[in-house]
Amino acid sequence: VEIAIIDEKFLPLEELDKVYMDRGTFFGDGVYEVVRSYNGKIFALAEHIQRFENGLNAIGIENVDIEKIKQKVISAFEKSKIPNAKIYFHLTRGSGPREHNFTGDYKPNFFLTVTELPDCTSLKKNGVSVITHPDWRWKRCDIKSLNLLPNVLAKQAASEKNAFEAILVNEDGYITEGASSAFFSIFDEKVYTTPLQENILPSITRKFVTKACRNLTLEVIEKHLSPDEVKKADELFMAVTTKDILPIIEFNNVEISNRLPGEITSKIENEFAEFTG
């Protein structure tokens, strides 16, 4: 008979719950999103849903009712009654025997959680430190896929050095983005960030940061920068859904803006708050 073992337990393969045969587990074969709410209102849901749909299309997961997923997100959030929530969801290609190709008949698996967002007031107030780490990821980081091992290892390396985030550096010596955030530098009151190409995620927070900058008539320049250039920046910050904007006060042990959140960063944060308030 065909056998499986789950931890210590033997069982016939045919009795195995399909969650154990998920292609998400075998291959990271799926896409995910992280959305948040501010004071009882989901932020930028349409943008997240669009990126999710783009990801599904990019990896060929077809016939997904995207409107139904959007409704699930909304109803789970409403049921939770958590005002400042983190909503995580993913869709994998489905469950089945472990075969790399997906010519079989798969039914996608959907998974979602609504949890409390940890408070990040002190991180915002004090700023965070970051270190650089090689970008070991694949060439389609615009797809928010479940394959996150390089991100996990980079973030762990940062944690072990008491840094909050790992800033990824590609083989050409340029910064791409954070292990789980977008990355910005400020020089002479101009805001710099990595050009939006297939090697980084089209961050939703980045999009609203750009909008905030436009409102403040701050120029945003898409440019590849090296760690050596960035460590001389007037200000640095990172951006991610769960924390929006976090000032960076240390970059590879070099002090940035005298270890204080930068003035322009604070202005951008205030303007950003207009979108979420």
- The reply to whether 240 sits near ligand PDD by the rule CB under 6 A is yes
Tell me how many residues contact ligand PDD (CB under 6 A). Answer: 15
DSSP state letter for 68: H
Residue of 181, 185, 193, 194 that binds ligand PDD (CB under 6 A): 181
In the complex, the smallest distance separating the C-beta of residue 183 from ligand PDD, rounded to whole angstroms, is 8
- The reply to whether 205 sits near ligand PDD by the rule CB under 6 A is yes
- The residue among 61, 84, 87, 60 whose CA lies nearest residue 74 is 87
In the complex, the smallest distance separating the C-beta of residue 15 from ligand PDD, rounded to whole angstroms, is 34
Catalytic residues: 144
SS3 category, 167:
strand
- The reply to whether 204 sits near ligand PDD by the rule CB under 6 A is yes
Q: Phi and psi at residue 59, in whole multiples of 5°? A: -105, 10
* Residues 138, 135: Cα–Cα separation, whole Å: 9
Residue of 34, 49, 64, 153 that binds ligand PDD (CB under 6 A): 34
The residues near 160 (Cβ < 8 Å, ≥ 6 apart) are none
Q: 124-157 burial, b for 16+ CB within 10 Å, e for fewer?
A: beebbbbbbbebebeeebbbbbbbbebbeebbeb
* Stretch of residues binding ligand PDD (CB under 6 A), selected from 61-69, 174-182, 186-194, 251-259: 174-182
* Stretch of residues binding ligand PDD (CB under 6 A), selected from 11-19, 58-66, 116-124, 235-243: 235-243
In the complex, the smallest distance separating the C-beta of residue 166 from ligand PDD, rounded to whole angstroms, is 10
* Stretch of residues binding ligand PDD (CB under 6 A), selected from 1-9, 11-19, 52-60, 196-204: 196-204
- The reply to whether 201 sits near ligand PDD by the rule CB under 6 A is yes
Residue by residue, DSSP assigns 72-130 as: HHHHHHHHHT-SSEEEEEEEES-B-S--SS--S----EEEEEEEEPPP-HHHHHH-EEE
- Note the residues at the interface with ligand PDD (CB under 6 A): 34, 151, 177, 180-182, 201, 203-206, 239-242
